[in-house]
Amino acid sequence: MPSEEAVAVFSGVNGVDGTVVFESYPEGCRVNAEFKRLPPGEHGFHIHNAGDLRGEGCQGACDHFHKGKPQSHGGPPSHAGERHTGDLGNIHGNGFRATYILAGVSVSELYGRSVIVHADPDDYGKGGHDDSHTTGHSGKRIGCAIIGRVLRPNKTRKNKKDSTTTNNLLRYYSTPF
Ligand SMILES: [Cu+2]
Ligand SMILES: [Zn+2]
């Protein structure tokens, strides 16, 4: 049972329909992403620092969430080399599901921040564009969702299947910083 939980909801705007659930465990924050629908192609996917969705293309969400010493943009957890804590790689297709473990991060550090789905693929910092090292050159912000606190009495909580035992899931683990 996680000690804290949060959720970001994408309501279908621009064809992005899904939820991202954040759970605190002793090893860190477990992030479970489930997208019913996404536009065709690969889409950069990140946790951004702010949850201010004002401004064209959610500009108020600012840059990528990062904890620890400054690093340049990179791939999802388990990716070798520099990366931001909030770099979650690419997502694609309808029915996409993935779990990411963010070591040393707790849900309470994420409340009020946001999750963003971009129009274009994330190049993991390797594309050679001006913004490869900051945003992965992943283009417009087409889906923006605030990370909100989840509260539910323990007794109404359904016995969810533990996601670590589910087979057909992509899993990414970050190393502790
Ligand atoms: Cu982003
Ligand atoms: Zn980044």
pLDDT at position 170 over 90: no
Q: What is the pTM of this model?
A: 0.87
The total number of structural domains that make up the chain:
1
Within a domain: 77 = yes
**pLDDT tens per residue, range 113-152:** 999 999 999 999 999 999 999 999 999 999 999 999 999 8
Within a domain: 37 = yes
Within a domain: 136 = yes
Which pLDDT does position 125 carry in this prediction? 97
Domain range for 33 = 5-155+165-173
* Segments of the chain assigned E as strands: 5-11, 17-25, 28-37, 42-48, 87-92, 96-103, 114-118, 141-146, 148-149, 170-173
CA of 139 to the centre of ligand 2 (A): 13
Residues bordering ligand 1, an ion, CB closer than 5 Å: 46, 116
Mean pLDDT of all residues in the chain? 92
CA of 131 to the centre of ligand 1 (A): 11
CA of 14 to the centre of ligand 2 (A): 22
Is 92 a residue of the active site? no
Among 64, 83, 113, 133, which one carries the catalytic annotation? Answer: 64
The CATH code of the domain that includes 140 is 2.60.40.200
**pLDDT tens per residue, range 20-37:** 999 999 999 999 999 999
Average pLDDT over residues 153-172: 59
Within a domain: 160 = no
